[in-house]
Amino acid sequence: MFDDLKALPEDTILGVMARFRADPFADKVDLGVGVFRDEAGHTPVLDCVRDAESRLLTTQDTKSYVAPVGRAEFNTLVQELVLGKSHGALAQNRVRTIQAPGGCGALRLGAELIKAAASQVQVHVSDPTWGNHLPLLGGAGLKLARYPYYDAAAGHLCFDAMLQALDRCNAGDVVLLHACCHNPSGADLSPAQWNEVLAVLERRRLMPFVDLAYQGFGTGLEADAHGVRLLAEHLPEMLTAISFSKNFGLYRERVGALILLGAKPDRTDAMTSHVLQIARSIYSMPPDHGAAVAALILADAQQRQRWEQELERMRNRIQSMRRLLSATLRQKSGDGRFDFIESQCGMFSLLGLSPQQVVELRDKHHIYMVPDSRVNIAGITPRNAAYLADALLAVI
Ligand code: LMR
């Protein structure tokens, strides 16, 4: 059966991770895969997570199945975190949340739901976007199209071109939006721009599918959810994929959720029934451990406050590395070409380098980034910033 099966190329981002791990150079710099790193370059387990895990270990008395929907209390806490407790859509009983195996699982569940409901629609995805969006959505058999979002050479959004492209979409089409900390560009929509996107979604009758993978990594937990809350307030239908990989540091535990918004409560129930059947047919039930940990933290006022403090520290470290790299590059080069890094937010920025320059940085300087020159800002430390700036200026 498999005699003629051709081996596939490695995943772009995971390939960078593997190459970095294989490099024996002591002072190598990892700006590849999107994980938070502290000043020592380590991805820590949050203190609040460690405590919740110990509590779980002593109190959990069964490993019996939960359910395809996951933990009910986790789902309630997630939708309140994302939408805010008093959101109109919650009051109207139009929201249901399904725990998923990470943000990827949530995106795939949403894609399969769209496919089941309206297989002919196109899903419009930002150009550029996170490398795994295309396989996750396209793998469900959906037709994909791109809308312009960010000009990497110029270092800013192409917002007018984005609006014009969305204005040409067919009614019923889906628009994939990044809620905050756009991956890979780090360039987010302002509140005024969210209003304009909302207007075009309403006018063209388009459904948003929002990816919220970095809540709390941009400006703060509330501000980062602004776009999601705004769209959910005004639109009849919406899907939102949530990841707790970054903000809880629970990467390998695969903690995520899909939030469904339907036009009426019975419509959301119908959507939910499909998602549950899809989940059952792919993986049956989501893993429990990470969701149990997140639920313990979110439900306990003191632990939640600790989590918010730890999250704020991660966010502040990334922002300070943005300032450091911009300032170092400005000082060494004498120009402001890389000033955009400082004004962006979240884990990533696109440096606007050619693939050859990215390879040169890797082969000559042991600096690793995604081939489109996306860098994980959390990989920068006060110790490697000057080395990185020198190497960058040497290759451009
Ligand atoms: C990233 O963008 O690097 C992360 O979200 C990890 C991944 O799965 O690609």
**Tens of pLDDT along 167-217?**
999 999 999 999 999 999 999 999 999 999 999 999 999 999 999 999 999
CA distances from 9 to 12, 15, 246 (A): 8, 9, 27
pTM, two decimal places = 0.97
Predicted pLDDT at 180: 98
Q: How many residues does the chain have?
A: 396
**Tens of pLDDT along 36-53?**
999 999 999 999 999 999
Domain residue spans in the chain? 12-44+315-395, 65-299
Average pLDDT of span 150-164: 95
Residue nearest to atom 1 of ligand 1 (CA): 34
**Tens of pLDDT along 295-324?**
999 999 999 999 999 999 999 999 999 999
Q: Percent of the chain at pLDDT above 70?
A: 100
CA of 274 relative to ligand 1 center, distance in Å: 27
Average pLDDT of span 363-384: 97
Q: Which of 11, 17, 132 maximizes ligand 1 atoms within 8 Å of its Cβ, making it the mutation to test the pocket?
A: 132
Contact 209, 79 (CB under 8 A): no
Predicted pLDDT at 132: 96
Predicted pLDDT at 61: 96
- What does pLDDT average to over the chain? 97
**Which parts of the chain fold into alpha helices (H)?**
12-22, 47-59, 72-83, 88-91, 102-117, 133-138, 159-167, 191-204, 226-234, 265-282, 289-299, 301-333, 340-343, 355-365, 385-395
**Tens of pLDDT along 326-371?**
999 999 999 999 999 999 999 999 999 999 999 999 999 999 999 9
CA of 243, closest atom in ligand 1: 5
Q: Within 6 Å (CB) of ligand 1, which residues are found?
A: 13, 33-34, 130, 132, 183
Split at pLDDT 50, 70, 90, the class of 149 is: very high
CA of 34 relative to ligand 1 center, distance in Å: 5
- 234 vs 172: CA distance, rounded Å: 16
Predicted pLDDT at 384: 97
Predicted pLDDT at 239: 98
In CATH, the number for domain 65-299 is 3.40.640.10
Average pLDDT of span 359-385: 97
Predicted pLDDT at 192: 98
Split at pLDDT 50, 70, 90, the class of 388 is: very high
Average pLDDT of span 261-274: 98
CATH class as words, domain 12-44+315-395: alpha beta
Average pLDDT of span 221-226: 98
Predicted pLDDT at 338: 96
